[in-house]
Amino acid sequence: MLQVTALTVEEGKLCPIRNVLSNVFGKWQSLILLSLEDGPLRFSAVKRTVGDITQRVLTENLRALERDGYLTRTVDPGPPVAVSYELTGPGKDLVEVLKPIVSWASENFDQVVAARKSYDARA
Amino acid sequence: MLQVTALTVEEGKLCPIRNVLSNVFGKWQSLILLSLEDGPLRFSAVKRTVGDITQRVLTENLRALERDGYLTRTVDPGPPVAVSYELTGPGKDLVEVLKPIVSWASENFDQVVAARKSYDARA
DNA sequence: CAGTATCCTTTACGATACTG
DNA sequence: CAGTATCGTAAAGGATACTG
């Protein structure tokens, strides 16, 4: 069976699922990765694509994604300075497995909304 | 291009990606869904599978997943009472698109850990 | 067994102002 | 332009005790 507990069966080893996914399944991470799907973008372009993320939080999330090796950060000192973010190989792979979930979400949105409505009506 | 902003292009409509995924990409939701992959489990069995989740939080998450229509909750009044949770059709579909990410996480765990180490060494 | 009820802490996030 | 610095809020989660 699948191992999803904090520690794997071999004690002392962290669960890869949790350890990797916790940095991808946040409110913004997957959205940011998806925004880079078609090629590198500059900081402000990522911000525009995601829409309602603050500068502080975007920076924070970009750094975390860079740290995990999903994207690179390239600085072109200007002036004005231009910083662009680009998916790495692993980052592109990750986006590929992320996309089916995104499609699923779009396709099943109505169903989920209906389920919520029916649940709330019963309670 | 993919639409990931809070409001979709047709104003006033919520983004399906965010709206659906925010209830799946939490710390526990995907783990709980995965625990039910092989068939229905009772409350305590889910808890055992996930490992270190508290009763309160597990209950909370199970309710949210039930509300979104991913699983059903069946009570067999005992005594002692036995409650079992089972994936619905949509729940099973969701688990299927979730599994590739889980596999990806397992396969790329070492790489991510290495990336973090190298990033931390530079900074 | 499968929860509720409380209380408390942590973490993520939002708002705003400032800067090389 | 792409951040950093502060401050404040809110949601998620942890610990523990209690119950039909």
Fold of B9-122: Arc Repressor Mutant, subunit A (1.10.10)
CB count, 10 Å around CB of B55?
10
Write down the mean pLDDT value for chain A. 91
* B69 pLDDT tier (thresholds 50, 70, 90): very high
From B38, B50, B97, residue closest to A100, measured CB to CB: B97
Q: What is the CA radius of gyration of chain A?
A: 18
Chain A contacts in chain B segment 31-70 (CB below 8 A): 31, 34-35, 37-38, 49-52, 66-69
Closest of B23, B71, B20, B24 to residue B43, by C-alpha:
B71
Assigned token pair, B116:
């973090």
Crossing angle for the helix pair A89-122 and B55-67, nearest 10 degrees? 80
Banded model confidence at residue A123, pLDDT cuts 50, 70, 90: confident
Tell me the mean pLDDT in the region B33-45: 96
Structural domain boundaries in chain A: 9-122
pLDDT reported for residue B1 = 66
* Distance set, CA A40 to CA A8, A75, A114, B4 (Å): 37, 12, 37, 17
Q: Mean per-residue pLDDT for A106-119? A: 92
pLDDT recorded at residue B106: 87
Which of the residue ranges A63-67, B49-53, B79-83 has the most confident prediction, judged by mean pLDDT?
A: A63-67
Q: What is the mean pLDDT of residues A64-72?
A: 97
Give Rg (Cα) of chain B: 18
State the best of B97, B98, B120 to mutate against chain A, taking most chain A CBs within 10 Å.
Answer: B97
